[in-house]
Amino acid sequence: MKKFYITTPIYYVNAEPHIGSSYTTIVGDIFARFKRMMGYDVFYLTGTDEHGQKIAQAAREKGVEPQQLCDELAQKFKELWRELEITNDYFIRTTDENHMKTVQYFVAKMMENGDVYKGTYEGWYCVPCETYWNEDELEHTEDGKHVCPSCKREVQLIKEENYFFRLSKYNDALLKHFRENPDFVEPDFRRNEMLKILESGLKDLSITRTTLKWGIPMPDDPEHVIYVWVDALINYVSAIGYPDDMESFNKWWPADVHLIGKEINRFHSLIWPAMLMSVGLPLPKKIFAHGWLTVNGQKISKSLGNAIDPREYVKKYGNDVVRYYLVRDIMFGKDGDFSEENLIKRLNSDLANDYGNLLHRTLAMIVKHFDSQIPGIGELEEIDKNLVENYEKTKRMYIELMDKYRITEALDVLWQFIGDLNKYFDETKPWVLAKEGNKERLGTILSLVTESIFKVATLVSCVMPNSSKEIYSRLSVSEAFSEKLLEGWNILKGNEVIHGEPLFKKIEKTQKEPEKVQQPQKQGEKTMEKQEKVAGQVGSENVVSVEELIDIDYFKKVDLRVAKVLAAEKVEKSEKLVKLQIDLGELGTRQIVAGIAQFYKPEELVGKLIVVVANLKPAKLMGIESRGMLLAAKKNDKLTLLTVSSEIEPGAKIS
């Protein structure tokens, strides 16, 4: 059986867990569940980091022993992961006896290989980040204080006898590995950051402290305590048996992916691989450094009081909704903002309207017209064959994207198919067939939609396991989620359906909002015409009058970016709309829909560098999601796109 070993960072226990620490763990759980569904033997590791100065300091402030603080907070992490239904296979604590023995063994082996020596360290140390910094890496306040470039807090000048790791010795080997394995660190802009450090040259690393006692003693020199980061990184091998159970270790190592936050990229992408090289162990296959999660635009911190407990949202909206929102609305790999308002929008639009409502009306018709038994799929017409072909393409793209850890894009692809499935339902008009008494054709359509929803539920089970289980239950399927259920059709024929409450309940707005023009429920000719008209209003159609002057702060809210057009195609059954795939650099790839087909051929657009509004709320045009808006100028009957010089990189911010 294929194996898959995935890890999260181990979390500091100087404070309680919050939505930020939960984010990586939820993402790790999604990938672990996906790989299990695809037939892999999975080991998913998470845990807590319990040594170091800031743990000792936090314990002192609470008036308890460090071990007591660690025990209390590690338990809170474990309880939270249980409540969030995280399927980790092991929870490691760095105060575990086996781990501490492994750390001493690992460091002793580094010493045996001549990679550790004694010297005097004089330099700057950040307690909150547990990080050593060189003078030239520090930032400075107006009053001349030295501050950490990561957390912006004041650093301490330290001078003490230390042991050092010959990190510089592995500079060339690491550089070679990075160049030969371009996917070793992702996203690519995080890899480039590490390459720049390597190209400027690594310096040896202090790996012990003598002024601190809360940590693992150095082998044969207990006056020295091993640097917390050296201790923490070794958890990835101690958790799977190194060095006592080499059968287990050899089964799982090397790790397939270390999921981390971008602020600890240097430790994982440079120091950890060098340590592994020192003891002769293979390097992990991939380090994926994702962005920071903010809350309503602010960085999560205790002082701001926004270190929210994810259980609040799970209780309010359900675990599946929170999980879906975190990976659909926030581009995985980039910085993202957790907004309750946006969560509600995703719940109402994607989950309640697009996904849940389709299931609800399909099962209602099976109950009414087929006595609750799923009919079989009969002879396929061209529209049916197109749906089946669309599913096969969607499945292939979804799996490929998930295998590449591009989870947000994978869900974009899947929800595009759900949009097409709703369109198929509306265009085949099963309610008309029911009135006409054409049960054979009606049965084929309802079966195809039901089996398509079943396949979607299987694919998305890693993200929303509870709703997928509920769909399985309503379709009388008792099997576990597996890759084999993604193949073939007519597999539900004869199953009894259980029609119940809507799968997702919409959240009604409590505040009165300006009245909006109601869209027709079915996407007929008038809806298409209206959407095309709106999409065509790019540029000078909406002119701000003198009375509507805006200030600079208002203008700053608009995120204008340079984008490169990767692909373009006309939208079927539309004279005006073009669907474009664009590259926004660090913001990733996106899809936008624009009403420019009368002015540009799709092939003319590919390769152009255009200007787009990157922070526009997603909208749907003819059932196709558009994430952004291009800028163009229009005069009389002529429209011209705003383009920029070829020297500008995609993603560049316009100000």
**Sign for the pseudo-dihedral over CA of 555, 556, 562, 567:** negative
The answer on whether 126 is annotated among ligand-binding residues is: yes
The answer on whether 70 is annotated among ligand-binding residues is: no
CA distance 593 to 416: 13
Cβ-based neighbours of 132, under 8 Å, separated by 6 or more = 121, 123, 124, 125, 205, 206
The tokens for 249 are 């270790």
- Which H, E and C letters describe 508-531, residue by residue? CCCCCCCCCCCCCCCCCHHHHHHH
The tokens for 315 are 């209780």
Q: DSSP string of 459-509?
A: HGGGT-HHHHHHHHHHTT--SPP-GGGGS-SSTTTTPBP---S-SSPPPPP
Q: How many Cβ atoms are within 10 Å of 126's Cβ, its own excluded?
A: 23
Q: DSSP string of 394-452?
A: HHHHHHHHHHTT-HHHHHHHHHHHHHHHHHHHHHH-HHHHHHHT-HHHHHHHHHHHHHH
Q: How many Cβ atoms are within 10 Å of 645's Cβ, its own excluded?
A: 7
The answer on whether 462 is annotated among ligand-binding residues is: no
CA distance 81 to 652: 38
- Say whether 335 sits in a helix, a strand or coil: coil
Cα 92 from chain centre = 23
- Say whether 540 sits in a helix, a strand or coil: coil
The tokens for 161 are 């006898």
The answer on whether 129 is annotated among ligand-binding residues is: yes
- Say whether 295 sits in a helix, a strand or coil: strand
Contact 626, 612 (CB under 8 A): no
Give me the residue label for tokens 């024929």: 493
Cβ-based neighbours of 354, under 8 Å, separated by 6 or more = 415, 418, 419, 422
Binding residues for Zn(2+), by number, are 126, 129, 148, 151
Binding residues, by number, are 126, 129, 148, 151
